[in-house]
Amino acid sequence: MKNRILFVVLLLTVITQFNTSLYLPSFPSMTLFFHVTPGAIQFSMILGLIFFCFSVFVYGPFSDHYGRKKILSFGLVIFLIGLLTAIFSTKIVFLYIGFIFQGMGLGSVGSICPAMIRDTFSGKELIKTISDFFMIIAIIPLIAPVLGGYLSVFFNWQANFIFMFLFTLFSLILMISVIPETNVYTQKKHLTFKKIMSNYTYVLSSKKFIGAILLLTITNASVIVFLLIVPFLIQKELGYSPIACGWILFILSIGTLIGNIASRVISNIISMKTKIFFSIVLMQICAIALFCFSIFFLDIYSLTIPIFFFVIGFGFLSPNCATLGIESFPENSGVAGGMIVGIPQGGAGLLAVIITYFHVHNQIPLASFVLFATILLLLIYFLFHHHFQTCIVNKKNEIRKH
């Protein structure tokens, strides 16, 4: 049963990964279809991200109280409505509405899927499962930009949304059919606003949780910057086709998988605290290289090689921070999972709004931000690393008790 639950959770999480990267090669063709600027198309993605971030804070406590399956089913139906709206959009405003509904619905997956893992696994098994989970979900989105490029060229940009609609509908039916309710702490009495705020206050009182959230927020913001700017650099500045852009993004995404695998392989050799520090140092080296290259010249190698190794560091960091954030809250895993997803994505969304407003489409602002972000990562690490060490010790003690 545990493997069945993990499979369905993975399938649902793939939806969030696809929804981020499947459309990227279609952005230039969407600008032509709607007769708008690239920033207007980027803003549709930002709208979805903003509503995604707000909605995870709602779905989390409700799933803790009433159960995962019914709340998740409700969210997926909203997401399907958003996809249909986007498919039949003829004006940019309808595309915006579609992305708003997609973000509102997808928040259920973002907050509830991590909680379902925490419901099902504990102790060493939880650490292993989260590492495996991040490794597997790094594999699936590798095909999304490539698939999106082919769908855009051989059909049209709407084909991406049709694919997502069919995939989501299948996942929803499978989830309802084959897995049980995973939350054993459900309650029949009504959920009050006071109770919701109490749960959030309890989770936010953990300094290790705050440290993990801050690290995830900054690294997610860096990845969002890459996703928003790099497709335009590849196609507009360097002259590559949407299909070529999809393959380049595919190669870059392999870095995340490599980072996940490396973190998993050495999990029993070095501590979680050391792995976090190593990943931050790697990302800073890459940021310095990207900044230096951006000053003198732009070609496909000077752009993609530093980004490739940067996302290796991102893939190395993410599962460790997620484990730190969610492991201590079995009864509030929906709240913790929602914040682990919502706060980093919200911070990234805010940054994306700024990028769109200032029409940033070249490599120097990209490199400057990433360099600044890695400096912040180091500062946060040195502020909170003692709590990361405490977490590891406590986790070992908890495993011994069991």
pLDDT in tens, the chain (402 residues): 777 888 888 888 888 877 767 777 777 788 888 888 877 887 887 788 788 878 888 888 888 878 888 899 999 999 999 999 988 988 889 989 999 999 899 888 888 888 888 788 776 677 677 777 776 666 666 677 777 777 777 777 888 889 889 999 998 999 888 888 887 777 766 777 777 788 788 888 888 888 888 898 888 888 777 777 777 777 777 777 777 877 777 777 788 888 878 877 776 677 778 888 889 999 999 999 988 888 877 788 888 888 889 989 988 888 888 777 777 776 677 777 777 777 777 776 676 666 656 655 567 777 888 888 899 999 988 888 776 654 443 444 443 333
**Residue 81: per-residue pLDDT:** 94
Residue 352 CA to residue 282 CA, distance in Å, equals 24
**Residue 76: per-residue pLDDT:** 94
> For the domain with range 2-180+195-401, which CATH number is right: 1.10.10.10, 2.40.50.360, 1.20.1250.20, 3.30.2270.10?
1.20.1250.20
**Residue 355: per-residue pLDDT:** 63
Where are the chain's structural domains?
2-180+195-401
Residue 92 CA to residue 78 CA, distance in Å, equals 20
